[in-house]
Structure 1
Amino acid sequence: MLQTGRYGEYGGMYVPEMLVPALKDVDEGYQRYRNDPGFRAELENYLKEFVGRPTPLTLARNMSEKYGLKLYLKREDQAFTGAHKINNTIGQALLAKKMGKRRLIAETGAGQHGVATATAARALGMKCTIFMGEVDIARQKMNVFRMRLLGAEVVAVKNGTRTLKDAISEAMRHWVTCLDDTHYLFGTAYGPHPFPAMVKDFQSVIGKEARAQILEREGKLPSCIVACIGGGSNAIGIFSGFLKDENVRLVGVEAGGCGIESGKHAARFQTGTKGVLHGSYTYVLQDKYGQIQDTHSVSAGLDYAAVGPEHALLRDVGRAEYSYATDDEALFAFQELGMVEGILPALESSHAVAWAIKNSKGFEKNDTVIVNLSGRGDKDVETVAKQMGVSI
């Protein structure tokens, strides 16, 4: 990826002219500090002492025996705040503070990025505002309360579908009004340059750890890496440790919603076409006139109409493959991992678990498959209970 922000034909900086200086400022700050030994040492200290890295690589023994493969889980659910999002928020917040910013704003869907941003802001003594769609607020009440307990202002977005897409739009509109003292802490490996590069950088710790851990445990590289993919940060984070290893299969799992044929899904690589959304050129769910289509997923964090530009390139060149899991498959995987292994995954991560279950017969008993368990399922218990018709 060059400093032009392009991944092949994808990526770029498709934003209103008034945002260009702010993005260039972020890029200049990132280029200045990204390899600075002092910055890296401070970030490493936060990741170790505050986030709790490295996260474990857990052999799921019961699932492995049941499904006839050697299944490992990269336990980002054990990172502080309960998901991989904290890796990026600590990195960007520290960068923003070095650049003289005093306030962070962010969008969130599942609420984990909002919680992680509020946490990073509090740790670094910064103010924080989170934009979140009304629909997502209703299905992620606990995370909303957590953000407020951490001192963040939570702004309910009532426009459009009232989900992640509209939260990003509102956050970008707000950023224009407060560029001098505010950094927009983008949550995934998407958006205008330099966000896809920055987020990949700060999430690459997942792949570095997973590579070292699996070599220590097995003495060889894994057969396959599986990760759910909304914008794509947890996936590109773990993929980054294995991109040069052509024999390691990389699989991203999108939200199949109610099924591709239903039209109620967020599987961009299944029915999407090339277009622009929120500053980046990539695969987008849009109609023939370029109007963004509504999306659906039981998981708020995958409910988005576009996918990160590097994933688009990886798919086109054949280095990674992209599948999907439906709501029903994800809900089954959520319950299955809990009942068989004693681990409740986030509904987002459950899509990756669902793919591993569904495709287990394609692996041999000694094939090692790593699923990136990007978050824990506490936040989704109410949603799962509602889907099961259970009152809690």
Structure 2
Amino acid sequence: MNNAIDQAMIAKRMGLKSVVAATGAGQHGVATAAACVKLSLESTVFMGTSDMEKQSLNVLMMKLFGAEVKGVEGNFKDASSQAIREWSVIGKETRRQAMEKWGGKPDVLLACVGSGSNALGIFHEFVGDEDVRLIGVEAAGFGLDSGKHAATLARGEDEEGQIIEPHSIGVSPKLSFLKDTGRVEFYSATDEEAVEAYKRLRRIEGIIPSLEASHALAFLEKLCSTLPSGTKVIVHCSGRGDKDAATVLNYQQYSM
């Protein structure tokens, strides 16, 4: 609920009229709908039809709060994919701002990847632009060889080509396809690298990024040394890191 309220308040502050969300069991959808009705915003919630059948009470609650609940054939994965199509405005906004700032497209787009929603949101607009390099950065955790990572695409198979049992959430099928076709490159950053990037951006820019986005920022340092001068790079900072402050503190104490 706290997250839904924050997002609705941001939308209201920006002068937007509606909020789009995806939900699995329905709790996030109910929270979004409740926050929106309180702030006089419209809300659209995508939900898998199989989940709608199981969670009919939450569907009813969303509708009572005034949300438009759109059923998507399948489950939460499919609902998320449909919501991403709505969210892809971030990619359009990125193209517009790049044109205003540079008079053209960026050369490189960099985004963190968990399930892939934020990355697809910004990549979607540029998939057809072959001259724009798209890079996703997954969480390497304690390292790709540790067995404790979430790098499904960067290290999802063993040496014999067998699928490695995942330590964390799976990644979007669309991103898997874009990897297989070579359109998107995937790399990884460890916990230690992400935490250092988290602290560095806060110190240099006064911005506290989410730990998720910090993985992309961590890889940026490795990437820059390989790029020619003047390369136009955009990093998608997908969230704020207030929520991660305790996690960073605990990590520092653990790693000391």
TM-score by length of 1: 0.50
Which amino acid in the other structure matches residue 242 of structure 2? D
Given candidates 205, 226, 232, the residue that maps to 1:368 is 232
Per-residue deviation, 1:240: 1.3
Unaligned segments of structure 1, at least 5 residues: 1-45, 55-86, 97-103, 107-113, 126-171, 274-283, 288-292, 296-303
Match of 1:239 in 2: 123
| Contact 1:105 1:182 survives alignment (8 Å) | no
Q: How does 1:56-95 map to 2 (within 5 A)?
A: 90-92=19-21
- Structure 2 residue aligned with 1:351: 215
Q: Is the Cα contact below 8 Å between 1:256 and 1:324 reproduced in 2?
A: yes
Offset, 1:51: 5.8
Q: Distance in 1 between matches of 2:81 and 2:242?
A: 30
Picking from 144, 160, 178, the partner of 2:56 is: 178
How many equivalent residue pairs? 223
Within a 5 Å distance, the mapping from 1:255-334 to structure 2 comes to 255-272=139-156, 286-287=164-165, 293-295=166-168, 304=169, 306-334=170-198
Q: Which of 13, 26, 31 in structure 2 is aligned with 1:105?
A: 26
Distance in 2 (CA, whole Å) between partners of 1:105 and 1:254 is: 27
1:211 pairs with 95, 113, 119, which one?
95
CA apart distance, 1:173: 7.3
SS in 1 for 2:138: strand
The alpha-carbon deviation at position 197 of structure 1 amounts to 3.4
Q: Which runs of 5+ in 2 are unaligned?
A: 1-7, 39-49, 63-68
Question: Structure 1 stretches (4+) deviating beyond 3 angstroms?
Answer: 46-49, 172-175, 190-194, 284-287
Q: 1:193 & 1:352 partners in 2: Cα distance? A: 23
Tell me how far apart the structure 2 counterparts of residues 324 and 345 of structure 1 sit (CA, whole Å).
17
Letter in 2 for 1:226: L
Cα distance between partner residues in 2 of 1:175 and 1:258: 40
SS in 2 for 1:270: coil
- Residues 102-251 of structure 1: pairs in structure 2 closer than 5 A: 105-106=26-27, 118-124=31-37, 176-178=54-56, 181=60, 194-251=78-135
State the 1:178 CA deviation.
Answer: 2.2
Secondary structure of 1:241 counterpart: helix
Once residues 104 and 143 of structure 2 are traced to their aligned partners in structure 1, the CA distance between those partners, rounded to angstroms, is 37
Q: CA RMSD in A?
A: 3.5
C-alpha distance after superposition, 1:266-322 (max 9, x if no partner): 11013325xxxxxxxxxx9654xxxxx433xxxxxxxx2x11011011111111111
Quote the sequence identity (%): 38
Q: CA deviation at 1:357?
A: 1.2
Matched with 1:41 is none
Aligned to 2:236, what secondary structure does the other structure show? strand
Deviations 1:50-73 (A, max 9, x none): 26279xxxxxxxxxxxxxxxxxxx
Aligned counterparts of 2:188 and 2:15: Cα–Cα separation in 1: 29
CA distance in 1, matches of 2:141, 2:211: 12
Q: Does 1 or 2 have the higher relative contact order (CA < 8 Å, sep 6+)?
A: 1
Secondary structure of residue in 1 paired with 2:207: coil
Equivalent pair of 2:138/2:189 in contact (CA under 8 Å): yes
Q: What are the superposed Cα offsets for residues 345-366 of structure 1, whole Å, 9 maximum, x if unpaired? A: 0000000101111211012231
What secondary structure sits across from 1:222 in the alignment? coil
Query: Residues 48, 247 of structure 1: CA spacing in aligned structure 2 closer, same or farther, 3 A cutoff?
Result: same
Instruction: Report the residue type matching 1:325 in the other structure.
Output: A
TM-score, structure 2 as length reference: 0.75
Give how far 1:203 is off. 1.5
Deviation for aligned residue 1:182: 5.8
Shift in alpha-carbon separation, 1:385–1:235, aligned structure 2, 3 A:
same
The secondary structure found in structure 1 opposite 2:225 is helix
